[in-house]
Amino acid sequence: MPPRRPYHRHSTPMNSKLIFTPEGFPEPGPAYLAPTRFFDFDTPSVRAFVDETLAGERDEVAKAVKLYYAVRDRIRYDPFKVELKPQLYQASSVLAAGSAFCIPKASLLVACARAAGIPCAIGLSDVRNHLTTPKLQQRMGGRDLFVHHGYAVMYLDGRWLKAAPAFNIEMCRRFDVLPTEFDGHSDAIFQQFDARSRRHMEYVRDHGVWSDLPYQRIEMDFAAFYPEMFFQPGAGEGSLHSP
């Protein structure tokens, strides 16, 4: 099934209030520490999640690592939960749901990092999954390209690091996928190969770094690229092989 509208890579943000860095990384500043519509760490539930996860931890890198694994493994990855409803991309909503796909999980990690005083942004890239299951690929209109895979971009020890918390450890074990590990010193992005040396994830296109989730852009690009059935709730559960 072809896209309903041509999919274009936009060169500017859809919301002028966003700080958009199309290449490289931004200068860290207040915009990357503040609560926003989507990174709503000023809500009691997100604050409680952060406080429980850190439990008095004072080291900044250790905080980032603990928050990464809390989001990665306590929020179940579900690629069949892609809906075009902005409230579902808010950190507090992701926490309440307990499961999400890559972009909402990244939103939660960004919010948690900011709550802990760590400058954080969201990055977006297109990725190709060479192991997409037939069920999910059919729902995607026969595609294996995932538009706007989301990940957190944290500022630690004077540099920005990418951290993709999408795949929880139980699902990695189930599908023989190498888990994405984060040590607070190197990028944590998807693996090119799985545990059986099969080609897995391929980063195809970078969409830059954002101070808040560019929901309008994501919504427009998703609607242009994917068939309507991709956004129907309750169509499936828990295949690992998508971002």
- Mean pLDDT, to the nearest integer, of 51-66? 97
pLDDT digits (tens, 9 = 90+) for 120-153: 999 999 998 756 777 887 888 888 888 999 999 9
What's residue 123's pLDDT?
98
Report pTM. 0.88
pLDDT digits (tens, 9 = 90+) for 162-205: 999 999 999 889 888 889 999 999 999 876 656 677 666 788 99
Identity of the amino acid at 59: D
- DSSP string spanning 168-214? -HHHHHHHTPPP----SSS-B---SB-TTS-B-EEEEEEEEEESS--
Alpha-carbon gap, residue 171 to 152, rounded angstroms: 20
